[in-house]
Amino acid sequence: MTREQTTPSYPPPTPTAVSAPFWEAAQERRLAYQRCADCAQAVFPPRAHCPHCWSESLTWQESTGHGTIASFTVAHRPGHPAFAELAPFVLALIDVQDGFRLLSRLTTNPEEGLAVSAPVRVVWESSGDWTLPLFELITVDGGP
């Protein structure tokens, strides 16, 4: 099957000097985040300064990759044309157990169980040169 020439590719991540460790960890399928050595709060997205206490002593940690859905949407008309063929898909704000919130996509459109507070876990998806932390619902019986 040949790829449609007109389909734009997904916009890749745009790492900075400060955020690079997050994407390097992602290549190894580890969900990295920062924790402040001074005030102990989790920090995301990556920074050189803690927004809670302005410390520069941020340490990289590995997340459990488990969390709950803070909110979600089923995107029918995505804002970026590259995602048009994927629609409809689920975007969610995820409250990760380690104490930070991020935005991600679910790997599938669940027929049931999609709800605020539903438990989820990270699932890695590689596309081109990048590996992205997507999420899936954890079903009651331990999952698919």
Binding site for another protein (CB under 8 A): 10-16, 19, 44-45, 70-80, 83, 86, 88-89, 91, 93, 101-105, 115-117, 130, 132, 134
Residue among 134 and 138 whose Cβ is closer to another protein: 134
Closest CB 68 distance from another protein, rounded Å: 12
Residue among 64 and 73 whose Cβ is closer to another protein: 73
Phi and psi, residue 84, nearest 5°: -60, -40
Query: Which parts of 80-134 fold into alpha helices (H)?
Result: none
Closest CB 74 distance from another protein, rounded Å: 4
Residue among 37 and 116 whose Cβ is closer to another protein: 116
Reduced to 3 states (helix: H, G, I; strand: E, B; else coil), residue 5 is coil
What's the order of all strands across the beta sheet hosting 58-62? 42-43, 32-36, 58-62
Q: What is the dihedral of CA 53, 58, 59, 64, to 10 degrees?
A: 60
Closest CB 55 distance from another protein, rounded Å: 18
